[in-house]
């Protein structure tokens, strides 16, 4: 498939756990292709991939980095992705933009937590996968152990394509299994020809397989998943790098082989019809929003007008750019397989489809996990109240796993991310890019107050101050309602004991009390208040007086109606390998959780449970510690439940203490 420059295009992503050698492999490929004059290093902070200050400081990739190089006349798009699971929001959209995945595994560490995760994500996206065993020149490098580890984790279709000569300090080269230089060629060949029955039969009978047939069969085996070849290399010593680049050019499927990920109910773009999808977004304080998109079909040129299929709005693509890390190069056009960016189209969002406007075209959205760690934030400087919300929203547009909400129940601005590290990075960027610093604290739990039985209340407000006095008397009763019914108000006043014009004031006095709370200052819900009787004075009664009387009468009835606190309960789905299930179940029980069931999947299980929200505010960190980073979870609101008396007593005392300190 030819791109904008008329050359064949191949697009691959480098995936894997942190410190598995992805960024240095990217450096080696760029250097070997003549893009750079010398290889950068992680320690020196001068790699083409890691350009953000946060990446240089932590010596780790945080954002996906888009690179490209020419190899023997083929244009290769290479995307280097973060290895920490905290930044999975950069990885998932990237998989939509490429045609194959290269999973990096450290020769010393083997398959790690995030290795499994990115493999599953690439498989879900339907991408061909190859494995690179990197750092073969390092201490404790063990190729055979890594191969066994990979095959156990991902299947027997993972077959060595290259094998090492030596290891550690003695690693001096690689041999091709396909050429019969070393290794088990028969096993590899069977996986290759398995996709073609005639070819398989001929091979098993000892017949010849031509080079052209073999090349086609390798590509088919990759695409169909019957082969995931294993490579070995040492990027910094330039051993095995050439062979990997040759493989990408020769065997990795191109854009024409990429199944267009059409949304349910959408049409596959017709021949030559332009269709592209936004997979990355960056907000620059000086340039504005920069949107990166992958072209799936047809082509587009700088200055052309396209349609955002989500908004149906038309936008002009001013100037298209290709990127090399943080460097940009203007291009006139982009064709299927190309990855380009455009600036200053503010309504473009992640996963948006852009096209010519023809047909019922929409590409499938990519799904990212919901963020689980939250912080309440407020600006340090008084003048920043006006810009904190907009600045956080811009950061949220870059990362689908970073959310910003205004909690209507607690009136706090809350940011949520995948981990404390993730939130630290985003708040550092808030300061660096937008000059907004924040104070953070644990978000408030939105407790509520309610009653559990009916009760009566009465208050007479009478005050004489020399001039016009204040007078109002209210009798009322409260009744508990079902969960979620909120508040109801009624009047049974007869005979004019409270004039009609004062009834709204009675309701208003009660509603103002609902907001402030009575037991511990939390909002009151699921209560009905019915005013039954009262008295008034022709001169001294007023709306203000009836508001006060109603509020005091409601307080009396509320405290007599066996009040209690309500807490939010969430439904949790906790996934981890089977070996951790006992620890997780016991931990959830200790948090007052109720196990609903356990589902099995592959080598792991998922526990479904209802747990009070207040018991899991730090659960992300604790689950990571319990499972060695192999656990994950999701939550969603389920209902409100009564807080046990001993816990409620502590909450009431804490609230009283806070009010004293204030």
pLDDT tens profile 182-220:
999 999 998 999 888 888 888 888 888 887 888 889 999
pLDDT for 2: 47
Report d(CA 596, CA 607) in Å as an integer.
8
pLDDT above 90 for 464: no
Rounded to an integer, the average pLDDT of 607-618 is 90
567-646: which CATH topology? Alpha-Beta Plaits (3.30.70)
| CA dist 226 → 152, 196, 469 (Å) | 15, 11, 90
Rounded to an integer, the average pLDDT of 23-31 is 96
One fold for 275-355 and 373-441:
no
pLDDT band with cut points at 50, 70 and 90 for residue 656: confident
CATH of 449-561, one of 3.40.50.1260, 3.90.850.10, 3.40.50.300, 3.30.230.10: 3.30.230.10
Report d(CA 208, CA 206) in Å as an integer.
7
Secondary structure (3-state) at 481:
coil
Report d(CA 524, CA 564) in Å as an integer.
10
Residue 602 burial (C-beta neighbours within 10 Å; 0-12, 13-18, 19+): exposed
Residue 249 burial (C-beta neighbours within 10 Å; 0-12, 13-18, 19+): middle
Instruction: Give pairs for 402-410: CB < 8 Å, separation 24+.
Output: 402/89, 402/371, 402/426, 403/370, 403/371, 407/443, 407/444, 407/446, 409/446, 409/523, 410/376, 410/443, 410/444, 410/446
pLDDT above 60 for 308: yes
Six-digit token string for 70: 């020419």
373-441: which CATH topology? Alpha-Beta Plaits (3.30.70)
List the single range of 128-142, 147-161, 194-208 with lowest mean pLDDT. Answer: 194-208
8-183+227-252 classified as CATH 3.30.2130.10? no
- Which distant-in-sequence residues (6+ apart) come within 8 Å of 478 by Cβ? 451, 454, 455, 457, 527, 528, 529, 530, 554, 557, 558, 561
pLDDT above 80 for 49: yes
pLDDT above 80 for 248: yes
Domain definitions of the chain by residue range: 8-183+227-252, 275-355, 373-441, 449-561, 567-646
pLDDT for 1: 43
Q: What is the pLDDT of residues 543-568, one digit of tens each?
A: 999 999 999 999 999 999 999 999 98
Half-sphere exposure of 216 (CA within 13 A, CB side): 7
275-355 classified as CATH 2.40.30.10? yes
Report d(CA 655, CA 406) in Å as an integer.
22
Of the two residues 13 and 213, the one the predictor is more confident about is: 13
pLDDT for 602: 58
């Amino acid at each position: 498939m030819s791109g904008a420059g008329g050359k064949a295009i191949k697009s691959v992503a480098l995936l894997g756990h942190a410190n598995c050698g992805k960024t240095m492999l990217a450096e080696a490929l760029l250097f070997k292709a003549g893009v750079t004059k010398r290889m950068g290093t992680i320690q020196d902070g001068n790699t083409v991939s890691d350009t953000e200050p946060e990446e240089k400081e932590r010596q780790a990739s945080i954002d996906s980095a888009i690179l490209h190089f020419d190899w023997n006349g083929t244009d290769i798009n290479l995307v280097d992705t973060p290895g920490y699971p905290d930044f999975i929001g950069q990885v998932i959209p990237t998989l939509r933009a490429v045609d194959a995945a290269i999973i990096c595994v450290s020769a010393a560490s083997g398959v790690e937590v995030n290795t499994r995760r990115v493999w599953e994500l690439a498989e879900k996206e339907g991408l061909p996968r190859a494995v690179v065993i990197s750092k073969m020149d390092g201490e404790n490098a063990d190729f055979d152990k890594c191969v066994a580890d990979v095959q156990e984790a991902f299947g027997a279709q993972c077959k060595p394509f290259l094998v090492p000569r030596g290891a550690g300090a003695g690693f001096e080269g690689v041999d091709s299994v396909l050429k019969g230089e070393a290794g088990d060629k028969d096993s590899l060949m069977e996986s290759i020809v398995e996709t073609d029955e005639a070819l398989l039969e001929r091979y098993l009978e000892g017949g010849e397989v031509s080079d052209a047939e073999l090349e086609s069969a390798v590509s088919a085996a990759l695409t169909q998943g019957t082969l995931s070849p294993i490579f070995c290399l040492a990027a910094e010593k330039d051993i095995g790098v050439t062979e990997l680049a040759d493989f990408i050019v020769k065997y990795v499927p191109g854009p024409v082989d990429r199944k267009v990920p059409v949304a349910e109910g959408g049409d596959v773009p017709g021949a030559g019809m332009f269709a592209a999808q936004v997979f990355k977004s960056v907000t620059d304080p000086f340039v504005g929003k920069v949107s990166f998109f992958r072209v799936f079909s047809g082509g587009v040129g700088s200055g052309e007008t396209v349609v955002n299929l989500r908004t149906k709005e038309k936008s002009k693509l001013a100037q298209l750019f290709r990127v090399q890390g943080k460097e940009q190069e203007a291009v006139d056009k982009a064709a299927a397989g190309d990855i380009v960016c455009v600036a200053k189209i503010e309504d473009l969002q992640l996963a948006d489809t852009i096209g010519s406007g023809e047909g019922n075209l929409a590409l499938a959205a990519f799904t990212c996990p919901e963020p689980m760690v939250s912080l309440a934030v407020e600006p340090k400087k008084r003048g920043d109240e006006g810009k904190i919300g907009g600045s956080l929203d811009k950061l949220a547009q870059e990362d689908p796993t970073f959310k910003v909400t205004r909690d209507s129940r607690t009136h706090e601005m809350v940011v949520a991310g995948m981990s404390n590290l993730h939130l630290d990075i985003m708040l550092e960027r808030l300061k660096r890019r937008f000059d907004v610093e924040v104070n953070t604290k644990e978000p408030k739990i939105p407790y509520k107050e309610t009653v559990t039985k009916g009760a009566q209340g009465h208050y007479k407000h009478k005050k004489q101050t020399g001039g016009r006095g204040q007078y109002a008397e209210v009798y009322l009763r409260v009744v508990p309602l079902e969960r979620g019914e909120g508040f109801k108000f009624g009047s049974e006043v007869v005979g004019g004991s409270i004039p009609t014009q004062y009834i709204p004031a009675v309701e208003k006095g009660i509603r103002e009390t609902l907001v402030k709370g009575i037991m511990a200052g939390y909002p009151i819900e699921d209560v009905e208040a019915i005013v039954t009787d009262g008295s008034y004075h022709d001169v001294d009664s007023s709306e203000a007086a009836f508001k006060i009387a109603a509020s005091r009468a409601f307080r009396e009835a509320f405290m007599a109606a066996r009040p209690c606190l309500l807490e939010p309960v969430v439904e949790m789905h906790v996934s981890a390998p089977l070996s951790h299930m006992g620890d997780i179940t016991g931990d959830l029980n200790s948090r007052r959780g109720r196990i609903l069931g356990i589902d099995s999947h592959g080598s792991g299980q998922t526990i479904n449970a209802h747990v009070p929200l207040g018991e899991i505010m730090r659960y992300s960190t604790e689950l990571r510690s319990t499972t060695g980073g192999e656990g994950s979870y999701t939550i969603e609101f389920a209902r409100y439940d009564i807080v046990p008396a001993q816990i409620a007593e502590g909450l009431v005392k804490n609230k009283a203490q806070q009010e004293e300190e204030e």
